A and B are shown apart, each in its own frame.
Chain A
Amino acid sequence: MTIAPDIPLIDGPDVIVIRPRRGWLAFELGTLWKFRDLFLAFGWRDIQLRYRQTFLGVSWVVLQPLLGAAIFALVFGMIAKLPSHGIPYFIISYSGLLGWTLFSSGLTRASACLVASAELIRKVYFPRLLLPLGVVPCVLLDFAVAGALMIGFMLYYHIAPGWGLLLFPLAAIVLLGMAMGFGIIAASLAVRYRDIQYIVPLFVQLAMYASPVGYSAAAVPAVIKPYYDINPLVAPIEIMRWSLIGVGQVDIGGLLYASGVAIAALLIGMIVFRSTERKFADVI
């Protein structure tokens, strides 16, 4: 215990250096790796909380897309009478919801994660990036449960997917990437601006109608199609449906565009997150 500014600073491979960090992308991958168990713990926590009350929990995961699909079938299939290509309209909307839910629940959960864990951020050190990343396991599990149900429907209605199924994981990754990118941006802003948590659900709701969720992109009039295609969600959601049931159009250019948007969103998200991260504990 001394005050000795002239003694050289300790150094070594395991020495933790604490100093003002600079640079936009200065993420410490090593630290993230050291905390890999926490990533799993966060994921496991969310899953436990969601699936805890076995009956209500799991049935909610199943019921949500089912009810959504039923309503879309009613509105678009029976009222608007959009073409159903010989498949129950319910399956068309359900397959759209599959991709949509992956995006929207990823975005919603990621955007809320920092504010929801304010107490933790103020009191404990861990790589903050684990909070948005930690929502991924639960989102993926929900996606898997909804996907299993889809397999059931396909078996029941004798719908066999073709080689197009290979595009399915690609579209899923792009959707998840966009969800995390936008989610991380929103999460960082939400630390500062409390209305972000109201803006995100509003945005999500509007985006759902602007995306081929309850209907196929093929039903969109040619006049507005160029504007419609600006929405990067269009191609991956449409491709996901097509890969499963063969309905809709495959827009590889659109998928590439969506991948670009996902990568850009992730990069911007990292930068925004990084530049606000150093102040999280002070502001939250």
Chain B
Amino acid sequence: MSYKDIVVSARGLSKAYIIEHKAREMIAAEALLHFLANPFRRRAREEVWSLQDVSFDIRKGEIVGVVGRNGAGKSTLLKLLSRITEPTRGEARIAGRVGSLIEVGTGFQPELTGRENIFLNGAILGMRRSEIARRFDQIVDFAGVEKYLDTPVKRYSSGMYVRLAFAVAAHLDTDILFVDEVLSVGDAEFQKKCLGRLSDVAEEGRTVMFVGHNMATLESLCSHGILLDKGRLLHAGTLKETVAEYRRMIRPDHVANEAVVARRVDYGSRYEHVRAADLVDGNGRSTRLVNVGDALTVRVSLDMPIPLEGAVFVVWIDSSFGDCVLTLKTPRNGGPMERLHGQCELTCTVDSIPLMPGEYVLNFGLWKGAGYIDLVDGDITFNVQNNDAFGDGWGAHSTGVCVAPSRWRLDMGARRRARVLPA
């Protein structure tokens, strides 16, 4: 991939807000008096970094979701990129025309008619008058307000108002669109329409950066993601990875727990056979991070007061979207289960994990006869991290649901023959 298709770049982007410990004078006269009384006094002030040292590159056509908790700096990032406020440090560059939908309907003038507001709002969003005229019918059509075009918007219902506002913004001829929270407006049907419009925008090859809190929306819309926390960039990559990373972040207990015994579901067992379970690395240490293609080891402590004939221990892995991607079972004939008795430890190792990078959930249970007699699910979440697992320089840089090592061979002679034959 050439760096030429990068359309948004940020390098060390930082924004500090100054918090003054003593409330600042809001009255000019008072400020003047204070200055005259003590001209050299410096106010105690504190810098609060709402964004710190954020660097990333977005390529053309990517739809990037910005993920993070409240106050993580998502809105600040969007405000900096849409030039509403200036960075304190760092630099960002954007190639192409920028449109931003930080909030729909800003700049609408209640006294003016729908038609007049379309032109005014379009101009505020940086469109030339001729462009607005060209897009006019589309905008009106999308908003569905043709009957009320010459009515002052103060007489519009709030739904109409929002529809019109979104329509203007969504029909901007921009290369890059920054969107914040817009979809929290309007009814469900209109929200769907807005999402559809944003997808269209993306299909037209334009780049979208989207701040949202609804994971489902982000997942249906975005291809890539940025994870921010406390003003810092924690992750940038595909949306899947980013959401998984985010989920891991907001549930820190999953990193902390060393061994899991919490039970969620109990299918009538009178005895808790699974006493502890853990995901461990090659050195037997607890981990929640596995590299693509590395070994994955699950260690389970079992308490078997009596041997259970015909029991099967099952480990299965769900994706963060909840579908099962891998099931592992103790062998049907023979194997460790036959010797299982008393306090024991069962270890399951997959030598080379064929999972794509992302977040996964580990589940396991003891199966006997027609059902689980003990089951632990959803308590261990782990991440598969990309690396150059197979030494081909790619890692898991592709689409799909699983990975596998591959060998390539090029037979020069065969290739030459193939070229000669048709002639």
Binding site for B on A (CB under 8 A): 1-5, 7-12, 14-21, 34-35, 37-38, 40-42, 44-45, 48-49, 52, 119-126, 189, 192-196, 199, 278, 281-282
Question: B39-47, B99-107, B297-305, B404-412: which one contacts chain A?
Answer: B99-107
Q: Known contacts A2-B236, A189-B28; is A16 also within 8 Å of B83 by CB? A: yes
B26 touches A282 (CB 8 A): no
Measured in the bound complex, the distance between the Cα atoms of B29 and A7 in whole Å is: 51
CB-based nearest A residue for B117 = A45
Q: Which of B94, B100, B106, B123 has a CB less than 8 Å from the CB of A37?
A: B123
B106 touches A1 (CB 8 A): no
Asked whether B144 is an interface residue with its Cβ less than 8 Å from the other chain, the reply is: no
13 further A-B contacts with Cβ under 8 Å, apart from A1-B56, A18-B92, are A1-B58, A1-B59, A1-B236, A1-B238, A8-B3, A10-B7, A18-B80, A21-B86, A34-B126, A123-B102, A123-B103, A193-B25, A278-B85
- A residues near B103, Cβ cutoff 8 Å: 123
Q: Which residues of B36-71 are within 8 A (CB) of A?
A: 55-59, 62, 64
Q: Known contacts A5-B11, A48-B116, A193-B26; is A124 also within 8 Å of B100 by CB? A: yes
Q: Which of B7, B86, B106 has the most CB of A within 10 A?
A: B86
A120 touches B57 (CB 8 A): no
30 CB < 8 A contacts A-B = A1-B238, A3-B55, A3-B56, A3-B233, A5-B11, A7-B57, A10-B6, A16-B93, A16-B98, A17-B92, A17-B93, A18-B83, A19-B86, A19-B87, A19-B92, A20-B87, A20-B88, A40-B129, A41-B124, A48-B112, A49-B109, A52-B111, A122-B84, A123-B102, A124-B106, A125-B126, A126-B126, A195-B27, A195-B28, A195-B29
Q: Known contacts A17-B93, A37-B128, A45-B120; is A125 also within 8 Å of B112 by CB? A: no
Measured in the bound complex, the distance between the Cα atoms of B350 and A106 in whole Å is: 77
Asked whether B151 is an interface residue with its Cβ less than 8 Å from the other chain, the reply is: no
A17 touches B6 (CB 8 A): no
Measured in the bound complex, the distance between the Cα atoms of B121 and A253 in whole Å is: 46
A120 touches B124 (CB 8 A): yes
Measured in the bound complex, the distance between the Cα atoms of B243 and A80 in whole Å is: 80
- A residues near B27, Cβ cutoff 8 Å: 193-195
A38 touches B86 (CB 8 A): no
Asked whether B331 is an interface residue with its Cβ less than 8 Å from the other chain, the reply is: no
A124 touches B129 (CB 8 A): no
Measured in the bound complex, the distance between the Cα atoms of B90 and A126 in whole Å is: 21
B126 touches A9 (CB 8 A): no
Measured in the bound complex, the distance between the Cα atoms of B57 and A126 in whole Å is: 24
Q: Known contacts A1-B64, A1-B237, A17-B91; is A35 also within 8 Å of B126 by CB? A: yes
B3 touches A124 (CB 8 A): no
A124 touches B84 (CB 8 A): yes
Taking the closest CB of chain B, its distance from the CB of A64, in whole angstroms, is 20
Taking the closest CB of chain B, its distance from the CB of A119, in whole angstroms, is 5
CB-based nearest B residue for A41 = B123
Measured in the bound complex, the distance between the Cα atoms of B50 and A30 in whole Å is: 30
- B residues near A281, Cβ cutoff 8 Å: 79, 84-85
Measured in the bound complex, the distance between the Cα atoms of B115 and A41 in whole Å is: 13
Measured in the bound complex, the distance between the Cα atoms of B124 and A91 in whole Å is: 42
Q: Which of A119, A120, A125, A193 has the most CB of B within 10 A?
A: A125
- B residues near A34, Cβ cutoff 8 Å: 126
Measured in the bound complex, the distance between the Cα atoms of B4 and A195 in whole Å is: 51
Measured in the bound complex, the distance between the Cα atoms of B152 and A52 in whole Å is: 11
CB-based nearest A residue for B132 = A37
- B residues near A193, Cβ cutoff 8 Å: 25-28, 31
Measured in the bound complex, the distance between the Cα atoms of B57 and A5 in whole Å is: 9
Q: Which of A9, A122, A196 has the most CB of B within 10 A?
A: A9
CB-based nearest B residue for A196 = B28
A119 touches B84 (CB 8 A): no
- A residues near B233, Cβ cutoff 8 Å: 3
Asked whether B344 is an interface residue with its Cβ less than 8 Å from the other chain, the reply is: no
Asked whether B89 is an interface residue with its Cβ less than 8 Å from the other chain, the reply is: yes
Asked whether B125 is an interface residue with its Cβ less than 8 Å from the other chain, the reply is: yes
Measured in the bound complex, the distance between the Cα atoms of B30 and A251 in whole Å is: 39
Taking the closest CB of chain B, its distance from the CB of A153, in whole angstroms, is 32
Q: Which of A2, A8, A41 has a CB less than 8 Å from the CB of B119?
A: A41
Which 6 A-B pairs give the minimum distances between C-beta atoms? A193-B28, A41-B123, A1-B224, A125-B83, A123-B106, A18-B92
Taking residues whose C-beta sits less than 8 angstroms from the other chain, chain B's interface range is 35 or more
Asked whether B82 is an interface residue with its Cβ less than 8 Å from the other chain, the reply is: yes
Q: Known contacts A7-B57, A189-B28; is A119 also within 8 Å of B106 by CB? A: yes
Measured in the bound complex, the distance between the Cα atoms of B128 and A101 in whole Å is: 32
B124 touches A15 (CB 8 A): no
CB-based nearest A residue for B27 = A195
Measured in the bound complex, the distance between the Cα atoms of B126 and A199 in whole Å is: 34
- A residues near B11, Cβ cutoff 8 Å: 5, 9
Measured in the bound complex, the distance between the Cα atoms of B83 and A41 in whole Å is: 21
Taking the closest CB of chain A, its distance from the CB of B33, in whole angstroms, is 12
B28 touches A15 (CB 8 A): no
A14 touches B102 (CB 8 A): no
Q: Which residues of B121-152 are within 8 A (CB) of A?
A: 123-129
Asked whether B95 is an interface residue with its Cβ less than 8 Å from the other chain, the reply is: yes
B90 touches A19 (CB 8 A): yes
CB-based nearest B residue for A119 = B106
Q: Known contacts A3-B55, A41-B119; is A10 also within 8 Å of B3 by CB? A: yes
- A residues near B31, Cβ cutoff 8 Å: 193
Measured in the bound complex, the distance between the Cα atoms of B111 and A116 in whole Å is: 15
Asked whether B196 is an interface residue with its Cβ less than 8 Å from the other chain, the reply is: no
- A residues near B319, Cβ cutoff 8 Å: none
Q: Which of B25, B64, B95, B125 has a CB less than 8 Å from the CB of A10?
A: B95
Q: Known contacts A14-B96, A281-B85; is A19 also within 8 Å of B236 by CB? A: no
Measured in the bound complex, the distance between the Cα atoms of B93 and A8 in whole Å is: 11
- B residues near A44, Cβ cutoff 8 Å: 120
A125 touches B9 (CB 8 A): no
Measured in the bound complex, the distance between the Cα atoms of B107 and A45 in whole Å is: 11
A45 touches B109 (CB 8 A): yes
Q: Known contacts A1-B236, A5-B55, A10-B9; is A18 also within 8 Å of B91 by CB? A: yes
